[in-house]
Amino acid sequence: MSNYKDKGSILVVDDTEETRETLAALLGMKGFNVRCAANAHQALSEIKQEKPVLVLLDERMPGTNGLTTLKKIKEMDSSIKVVMLSAMEDVDLRKEAKKSGACDYINKLCDFEKLETVILSILARNIIGP
């Protein structure tokens, strides 16, 4: 098993506890250091405490949605990588997320291997450079 803990943490932001716990467990088993937040406010607070290398951000959350949260994260620190997660496919939202600085926009119902591939690709680019 690879150990990515020295590469920085991944912040999982999703209002659904089951999704947060599942992603945290799967990523933890792969050797990632994972933190979780249930909403935008918690996410921004977590980022202020300890900058993550990557944020997995749910688009549809009560209160502040994922797109607005993405913009706030990028205002705080543009170097933080963000992958938007959504249970629904929305081409316009995908375009807007990418335009706002998201590295990727994927269906959160995809298989974990696809998500892991996206994460590893982003981390590799982050280590090597833009």
The ranges assigned to domains in the chain are: 5-128
The mean pLDDT of 26-53, rounded to a whole number, is: 95
Please tell me the distance from the alpha carbon of residue 17 to that of residue 14, in angstroms, as a whole number: 7
The CATH code of domain 5-128 reads: 3.40.50.2300
- Residue percentage of the chain with pLDDT more than 90: 62
**For residue 125, what pLDDT is reported?**
75
**For residue 7, what pLDDT is reported?**
67
Contact 87, 107 (CB under 8 A): yes
Between helix 40-49 and helix 66-76 the angle, nearest 10°, is: 20
The mean pLDDT of 10-23, rounded to a whole number, is: 95
What global pTM score does this model have? Answer: 0.89
**pLDDT over 90 at 20, yes or no:** yes
Please tell me the distance from the alpha carbon of residue 119 to that of residue 27, in angstroms, as a whole number: 10
Task: Read off the pLDDT of residues 50-75 as tens digits, 9 standing for 90 and up.
Answer: 999 999 999 999 899 999 999 999 99
Q: Cα 33 to the chain's mean position, in Å?
A: 13
**For residue 96, what pLDDT is reported?**
93
The mean pLDDT of 65-86, rounded to a whole number, is: 95
Helix (H, G, I), strand (E, B) or coil at 95: helix
